[in-house]
């Protein structure tokens, strides 16, 4: 079976603190986009699992989230799976590429096995593979809390053009969390305002409220994030922000032509630059 794995964006990302088990307590408004990977998933009767991750530097063994998800779904059946990924979602971008692939595998195996497992059960299974997998199973627009596993569906994001641009560097997620833990600034996203804007279908209101607390602790080495944001807003984006722990940056456009021009301009400078739209399942 061929299945799509859609990338995700964080319209907002807030870190509320640490939980007793050492994880960070998050509150995020998350959105899937039409752009993503494509997977081929095939059952095999010998119980073996293989993955072609689509890039030579990605794990091709049990460390791969797609393999973890397949093992979890097929546990106790004696079956295995061959997974092939056409990789398009940039790696180390904050777009949940590995989680999206794992979620796509779960959906594919659910169909191939004829189980008709409901979404909430697939989400619970996906959480055992990774914190972002449940949202990638559900897709659409949602408020995610806790480690990202507590999901509340939200009204669909208004249709718009989205330009995504990733600079040629990654950002250490543990390092960013460490900086957030020790920060003095209290800049936070207006999560309630974002939810209200989604409920009324207010695209300018959504765009004005995109914000990621990790941007507040970027250092001078990561100044290119701000440069890309300026290029997006100068090109006509109603709002722009970094997604996840970066380093991809996105801008929301009401004007398709302005989005196309901005995408072309950024694509001339950055290899990983994409033009897409929101996705609703």
The C-alpha atoms of residue 104 and residue 88 are separated, in whole angstroms, by 14
Q: Does domain 2-153 have CATH number 1.10.287.70?
A: no
Binned at pLDDT 50, 70 and 90, residue 184 comes out as low
CB neighbours of residue 77 within 10 Å: 12
Work out the average pLDDT over 15-41: 90
pTM, whole model, 2 decimals? 0.94
Residues assigned a catalytic role: 8, 132
Q: 98-109 pLDDT, tens per residue? A: 999 999 999 999
- Cβ–Cβ under 8 Å, residues 96 and 129: no
The C-alpha atoms of residue 93 and residue 160 are separated, in whole angstroms, by 21
According to DSSP, the β-strands at 249-253 and 2-18 are unpaired
At residue 200's C-alpha, the angle toward residues 206 and 28, to 5°, is: 45
The alpha carbon dihedral of 180, 170, 149, 216 has a sign of positive
Q: Does domain 161-276 have CATH number 3.40.640.10?
A: no
Q: Is the pLDDT of residue 185 over 80?
A: no
- Per the structure block, which two tokens stand in for 133? 């997998």
Q: What is the chain's mean pLDDT, rounded? A: 94
The C-alpha atoms of residue 40 and residue 83 are separated, in whole angstroms, by 6
Q: 130-167 pLDDT, tens per residue? A: 999 999 999 999 999 998 889 999 999 999 999 999 99
What pLDDT score does 222 carry?
A: 77
CB neighbours of residue 150 within 10 Å: 13
CB neighbours of residue 258 within 10 Å: 17
Work out the average pLDDT over 203-214: 96
CB neighbours of residue 134 within 10 Å: 27
Q: Hey, where are the domains in the chain?
A: 2-153, 161-276
Is residue 168 helix, strand or coil?
coil
Is residue 29 helix, strand or coil?
strand
């Amino acid at each position: 079976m061929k299945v799509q794995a859609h990338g995700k964006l964080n319209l907002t990302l807030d870190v509320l603190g640490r939980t007793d088990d050492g994880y960070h307590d998050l509150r995020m408004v998350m959105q899937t986009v039409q752009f993503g990977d494509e997977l081929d998933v095939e059952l095999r009767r010998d119980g073996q699992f293989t993955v072609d991750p689509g890039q030579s530097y990605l794990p091709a063994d049990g460390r791969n989230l797609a393999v973890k998800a397949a093992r979890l779904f097929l546990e106790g059946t004696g079956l295995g799976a061959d997974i092939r990924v056409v990789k398009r979602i940039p790696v180390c971008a904050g777009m949940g590429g590995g989680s999206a692939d794992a979620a796509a595998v779960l959906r594919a195996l659910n169909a191939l096995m004829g189980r008709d497992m409901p979404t909430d059960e697939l989400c619970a299974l996906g959480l055992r593979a990774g914190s972002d997998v449940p949202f990638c199973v559900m897709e659409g627009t949602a408020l995610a809390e806790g480690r990202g596993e507590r999901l509340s569906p939200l009204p669909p994001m208004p249709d718009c053009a989205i330009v995504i641009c990733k600079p040629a560097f990654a950002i250490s997620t543990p390092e960013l969390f460490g900086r957030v833990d020790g920060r003095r600034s209290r800049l936070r996203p207006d999560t309630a305002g974002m939810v209200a804007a989604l409920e009324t279908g207010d695209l300018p209101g959504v765009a004005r409220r995109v914000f990621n607390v990790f941007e507040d602790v970027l250092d001078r080495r990561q100044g290119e994030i701000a440069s890309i944001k300026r290029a997006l807003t100068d090109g006509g984006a109603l709002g722009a922000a970094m997604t996840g722990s970066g380093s991809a940056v996105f801008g929301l456009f009401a004007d398709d032509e302005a989005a196309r021009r901005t995408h072309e301009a950024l694509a001339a400078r950055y290899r990983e630059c994409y033009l897409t739209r929101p996705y609703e399942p």
